Amino acid sequence: MRKPTSISIAQDAKDDTGMFVQFADGRTFREPIIILEGEKVERIRQGYTCIWCFEDVDAPFPKQCPVCTFPMADMQTRLFARFYMGIDVPLTSLEEKLAMLDEEEAREAYDARA
């Protein structure tokens, strides 16, 4: 299997109240915070890059991603609209989100010891 193209995944949301995506076969995925270059975002918007594994594809919006089988034709545009936070998100907002995740992790670590 080819490796996905390079991305930055800041942190997965790990609590049970976080947003998630569920596929028809029952698999669920937490909503991660993902930081992408603007060019990559445009490729995803135009269907040339899988929104799920960030693999580049030859033709826009194939029925399924060749790497992760994500249904790009059916789901990519909808998922993009749902997940995209914009390129103008203030840095402080992102930092606050990351700080919240740090706190959650610390709390989970604490709960795990209890």
Kindly write out the interface string for residues 73-112 of this chain, putting x where it contacts Zn ion by CB under 5 A and - elsewhere: ----------------------------------------
Verify binding: residue 67, Zn ion, rule CB under 5 A.
yes
Verify binding: residue 70, Zn ion, rule CB under 5 A.
yes
**From CA 100, how far away is CA 112, in angstroms rounded?**
18
**From CA 94, how far away is CA 7, in angstroms rounded?**
17
Kindly write out the interface string for residues 3-42 of this chain, putting x where it contacts Zn ion by CB under 5 A and - elsewhere: ----------------------------------------
Can you list the positions of beta strands (E) in 20-94?
20-22, 28-30, 32-35
